[in-house]
Amino acid sequence: MRQPTSRHVAPHRWADAFAGKLSETELAAMERHADGCNACAKARKRVQRASQSFPVLKAQSAPELGW
Amino acid sequence: MKRDTDSVAALGPADEAELIQRCRADQRSAHDELYHRFRRQVAGNLYRVLGDRTDLEDLVQEVFVIAFRGLDKFRGDARLSTWLYRICVNVALGRIRTRRRRPTAIGVNDLDGAAADPSLTERPETPEKSLERQRERERVYQALEQLAPKKRMVLYLHEIEGLDLKEIAYLVDSNPVTVRTRLFYARREFYRVLAGEGASGGDE
């Protein structure tokens, strides 16, 4: 069984991961760490939720104004 | 970068150039046409960047006042919509700076009235899903509020709008190297806040 890496994952690295910018090796190391680290698992979940909301935010139209 | 256009046909480059010429000739009808063609796009840009609709009408007017005054300087090196977006970014930065000096003016709660692209919300959402989406949106904008204005802007344009460094550099009147550096630090702060670790602060 592979041991989790000891270094915490910087939150922006999760954003990189969800954007598909990391290699499989990098991602696997981060996932191994998060599997054994509650703080990083929580950060991963929060960053993932936010990242998933970005397309919705980008698609927001202006509210109706009194033109 | 173009969205939120009114229900009028999009302008081609030649028509756009003609409209600009007519505006420069101070034709009232041309000013009206430019305003009506782009007002929704301008409002949308400002709304998404700022995250709330406070004073949105006034800010839209401010953008067009600046645009009409600056048309003589518009060299046509970008589409009109992009140039207007650049003015939006500048006006929004001014608003963000003012809000940071007067924190009570911050407001993200009226985002629940936000209209999303229908293609992204084809299936009716459950109330729980809708509430969760609204809360997530608030979390994102609250994290953005923690960043210094210039960092916030490049972060927003890159992470949410998906623009590249060159496009962002044009919009914020900077260069890609500066944008890249600012983005480097902005991403670290933003995702640290989102992850619940807080931000290190900073003014610019």
Print burial letters for B64-76: b (CB count within 10 Å at least 16), e (below 16): beebbeebeeeee
Q: How many CA atoms lie within 13 A of B104 on its CB side?
A: 0
d(C-alpha B95, C-alpha B57), whole Å: 13
Q: Which amino acid is at B179?
A: V
d(C-alpha B47, C-alpha A32), whole Å: 40
- The better pLDDT of the pair B155, B100 is held by B155
Contact between B148 and B203 under an 8 Å Cβ cutoff? The reply is yes
d(C-alpha B154, C-alpha B163), whole Å: 9
Contact between B82 and B1 under an 8 Å Cβ cutoff? The reply is yes
Nearest to B49 by CA among A57, A27, A31, A38: A57
Nearest to A46 by CA among B195, B45, B113, B183: B195
Give residue-wise pLDDT tens across range B24-49: 888 889 999 999 999 999 999 999 99
Nearest to B186 by CA among B197, B168, B200, B175: B200
Chain A residues near residue B115 by CB distance under 8 angstroms: 60-63
Q: How many residues does chain B have?
A: 204
Strand partners, A61: B115
pLDDT (0 to 100) of residue B102: 73
Q: What's B25's DSSP letter? A: T
The chain B residues in contact with chain A (CB within 8 A) are: 3-4, 39-40, 43-44, 46-48, 53, 56-57, 60, 110, 113-117, 119-120, 133, 136-137, 139-140, 143, 159-162, 187-188, 190-192, 194-197
- Least Cα separation, residue A2 to chain B (angstroms): 26
Cα torsion A42, A43, A44, A48 to 10°: value is 110
Nearest to B63 by CA among B49, B36, B33, B43: B43
Residues sharing a CB contact under 8 Å with residue B155, sequence separation 6 or more, in sequence order: B144, B147, B183, B186, B187, B190
Give residue-wise pLDDT tens across range B10-21: 778 888 888 888
Say if the Cβ atoms of A63 and B53 lie within 8 Å.
yes
Q: Give the model's confidence band at B140: pLDDT under 50 very low, under 70 low, under 90 confident, else very high.
A: very high
pLDDT (0 to 100) of residue B77: 82
Among the partner-chain residues A47, A60, A65, the one whose CB lies closest to the CB of B57 is A65
Report ipTM for this prediction: 0.90
Q: Give the model's confidence band at B201: pLDDT under 50 very low, under 70 low, under 90 confident, else very high.
A: very low
Give residue-wise pLDDT tens across range B176-190: 999 999 999 999 999
Chain A residues near residue B191 by CB distance under 8 angstroms: 10-12, 14-15, 47
Instruction: Say what percent of chain B tops pLDDT 70.
Output: 82
- The better pLDDT of the pair A12, B200 is held by A12
